[in-house]
Homo-oligomer: A and B are copies of this chain.
Amino acid sequence: MDAGAARMYRTREFAELAGVTVRTLHHYDRLGLLQPRRTEAGYRLYQARDLERLEQIVALKFLALPLKRIKALLDRDALDLAGALRRQRQVLEQKRRLLNSALAAIREGESAIGAGRRPESAILRRIIEVIEMQSKPDWTAKYYTGEAGAKVEERKELWSPELQAECSRQWSELFRDIEAALDEDPAGEKAQSFLDRWQKLVEGFTGGDFAITQGLKNLYADRANWPVEAKQQMAPYSNKAVWSFIDKARAARKK
């Protein structure tokens, strides 16, 4: 018979009373964290004991505890609250370490931008490099350091328009040669020399390694691994018979 006795609050009223949003109450209701009574029409009705529970939830949320754990704590695991606090402290301390390092990096990055200094840690240098890369047009030179930088410059020079044209010419030539020899034995000497020329072109001029990488493995010079745009560029050389011939030549060599 205590039904009508206690004061009841509808959702918005209760939300304002407790300092949370209506959506939050809906959310907690669905999660089973705080399930008020209902009117026949489905309206939520909160009462004083719901406010108690909600204040417990808010207090525990202040510790950045996830709602799941809060529910567990309030529902049954009350005795493990000390343990939960300890674990939560460790989680938060880990987060703080990450946060602090990011903050330190930002601060040093900011001041380094202003003063042109060199930061000490590797990650900071990378960040500054990124920054400078972005702000300077000739960042490629800055990106690589020492040996690697020299190599890139060298490669840059090597890959001149003239060389590109030369490369293109060599491909055309190779294609013509192969097309003219399609009836030869793919395992034969002539075919194998075509394959050599082919692989050298694939290897190309930029075959040097980038200093930024650690342990590079070579990848397929195989047609299957070519990007689609490359294939489009290769359209002038799209004679299937030539490709098939080279495939056979490669297969023959492997055996």
Q: Are A7 and B63 in contact (CB under 8 A)?
A: no
**Interface: A21 (CB within 8 A):** no
A110–B109 CA distance with the chains assembled, in angstroms: 37
- A88-125 vs B, Cβ < 8 Å mask (1 yes, 0 no): 11001101101111110111011001000000000100
- A220-241 vs B, Cβ < 8 Å mask (1 yes, 0 no): 1100111111110110000000
- Segment with Cβ contacts to B, from A23-31, A179-187, A189-197, A198-206: A198-206
Q: Are A81 and B1 in contact (CB under 8 A)?
A: no
Among A43, A105, A201, A207: residue with most chain B CB under 10 A = A105
Give the number of chain A interface residues (Cβ < 8 Å).
98
A110-B82, A126-B55, A130-B56 are known contacts. Are A219 and B7 too (CB-CB below 8 A)? yes
A38-B228, A123-B59, A171-B1 are known contacts. Are A110 and B86 too (CB-CB below 8 A)? yes
- Chain B residues with CB under 8 Å of A96's CB are 96, 99-100, 103
Contact of A45 among B123, B129, B143, B227 (CB under 8 A): B227
A202–B10 CA distance with the chains assembled, in angstroms: 17
- Chain B residues with CB under 8 Å of A63's CB are 102, 105-106, 109, 127
- Chain B residues with CB under 8 Å of A22's CB are none
Contact of A5 among B131, B202, B215 (CB under 8 A): B202
Q: Are B7 and A39 in contact (CB under 8 A)?
A: no
Residue of B nearest to A219 (CB): B8
**Interface: A162 (CB within 8 A):** no
- Chain B residues with CB under 8 Å of A109's CB are 63, 85
A5–B113 CA distance with the chains assembled, in angstroms: 36
Q: Are B171 and A56 in contact (CB under 8 A)?
A: no
Q: Are B78 and A134 in contact (CB under 8 A)?
A: yes
Q: Are A168 and B13 in contact (CB under 8 A)?
A: no
- Chain B residues with CB under 8 Å of A62's CB are 101-102, 105, 123, 127
Among A106, A107, A127, A231: residue with most chain B CB under 10 A = A106
